[in-house]
A = this chain, B = another copy of it.
Amino acid sequence: MVDKKDMAFGTAVAALRRLGDTSVWSLIVTVMGDSAARKGDKIAGPVLAQILEPVGVRPEALRVALHRLRKDGWIVSDKTGRTSVHRLTDKGLAETRVAASRIYQRQVNFPDQWYLFWAEPEETPPPPEGMLRLGRGMFLGQGEAPDCADFLMMQGHVKSVPQWLQTRLAGPDLMLAFDHLAAALNEVTETLVNTSGLSPLQIATLRMLIVHHWRRSLLKHPDLPLGFFPDGWQGGACRGLVMGLLDRLGRP
């Protein structure tokens, strides 16, 4: 007999799975990033299998994905008796940390000062590091502008962003992905009003799905104030829903 907790878990998983198929490879990266992101952290093969099982990942598919991750230098697997234990490589840890700094950020604060660098494309200076490319020869930076002799530089604040640029920063596909993500996260939030009866494995599965879909859309756009995005932008709302759910679920 399925109890209420398991029904709620099933409803939440279904809502998140409707957001689209995901590769096993990519789900493992998410799990490792969510629960084994410090140097020395390990995750046992059977535990990984149980976390992925509710998403329909079979042991064979898991083996293939783990093999690929080892080959790409993301993870290392050791045998402890008959059990495989997996951990992120230094490269895997480093890339995970970069992504995590955006994925788990509760609030994005922006400076008062911004700067623009502009050069005619045919002047072809190398694009400035760390700046956001807005278009041909046009780059945006936050804070105090560094010295650079090749560009026209203006320091100040962005007064308005035209619609065509908003659409370039977040196109219709991304807008729709965030609409769907917000709807799914709202459904999960309503379904999991009380999370006290969930098992650690169920929590790990839910966290994986939430973080995975959040990351997928998040890393498709730069962090920018609301005025840079088209009307109806759900990115900020999704961040709030993700942080609320992760807080409520807690670490497994």
Contacts and interface: CB of A to CB of B under 8 A. Distances in A.
Contact of A159 (B119, B154, B159): B154
Interface in A148-201: 148-165
Interface string A94-130: 0000000000000000000011101110010100000
Interface string A133-151: 0111010000001011111
Interface of A: 114-116, 118-120, 123, 125, 134-136, 138, 145, 147-165
A158 B149 contact: no
A162 to B, nearest CB: 5
Contact of A156 (B119, B149, B152, B155): B155
A162 B114 contact: no
Nearest to A148: B160
Contact of A153 (B145, B152, B160): B160
A152 B139 CA distance: 12
Nearest to A147: B160
Contact of A162 (B152, B156, B159, B165): B152
A118 B120 contact: no
A154 B163 contact: no
